Amino acid sequence: MGYETSLDYINPIKLWNSVYDKVTLKPNKKVISTQTVPAVPVNMNLGRIAGSLFIRLAGVSGAVAVAMGAYGSHGFYPKPDVPPELKDVYKTANYYHFLHSLALLGVPLTRRPNLVGGLLTTGMVIFCGTCYAYALTGNKSIVQFTPYGGMILIVAWLAMVL
């Protein structure tokens, strides 16, 4: 028994390392080659999306929303004889008009763009249109159609899930 062997008996860590080396599996020396797989192209024609009717409709609707907002700020609100209730209705109509104009930008990305876009457009025209008309004219008979526009907008948002 030499100097190194006597240290094995004294040092338990070295002893367990030698036992561990005998018990564990040895690494396999095979070389594993990998192969690069090309990415699967997405079936989405960006030209079709960019030229979509709903993208154009969103642009027109957004421009109309800006124009209506400018009219509300500079032509409608400064009038002292306009009741605050009508001003609030006008603000609500303009807010929803902007919001749903932006939502129209995402319509081509849905599974059923014609359904979602049609519902969004119809709901926006009925809801925002009746609110604008009531705020500008004060005619309460037109407000009866506003909830239908709101329901159509809710259905449009839910149709995005389909």
Closest CA to 113 of 154, 162, 153: 162
Render pLDDT for 16-34 as a digit per residue (tens, 0 to 9).
Answer: 666 666 666 666 677 777 7
Neighbours of 126 (CB within 10 A): 19
120 CB burial (10 A radius; 0-12, 13-18, 19+): buried
User: Can you tell me whether residue 45 is helix, strand or coil?
Assistant: coil
H runs (alpha helix) in 3-145? 3-10, 12-23, 46-50, 53-71, 84-105, 113-137
Rounded average pLDDT over 135-143:
94
**Greater model confidence, 145 or 28:** 145
155 CB burial (10 A radius; 0-12, 13-18, 19+): middle
Exposure string of 93-113, with b = 16+ CB inside 10 Å and e = fewer, is: bbebbbebbebbbbbbebeeb
Render pLDDT for 115-133 as a digit per residue (tens, 0 to 9).
Answer: 999 999 999 999 999 999 9
pLDDT higher than threshold 60 for residue 142: yes
Tokens at 58, concatenated: 């969103």
Report the amino acid identity of residue 84: P
Tallying the residues shown for the chain, one arrives at 162
Render pLDDT for 33-74 as a digit per residue (tens, 0 to 9).
Answer: 778 877 766 666 654 665 588 999 999 999 999 999 999 999
pLDDT at position 13 = 61
DSSP letters for 76-98? ITT-TTS-HHHHHHHHHHHHHHH
Give the confidence band of 100 by pLDDT, cuts at 50, 70, 90. Answer: very high
Q: Which of 12-16, 37-41, 146-150 has the lowest mean pLDDT?
A: 12-16
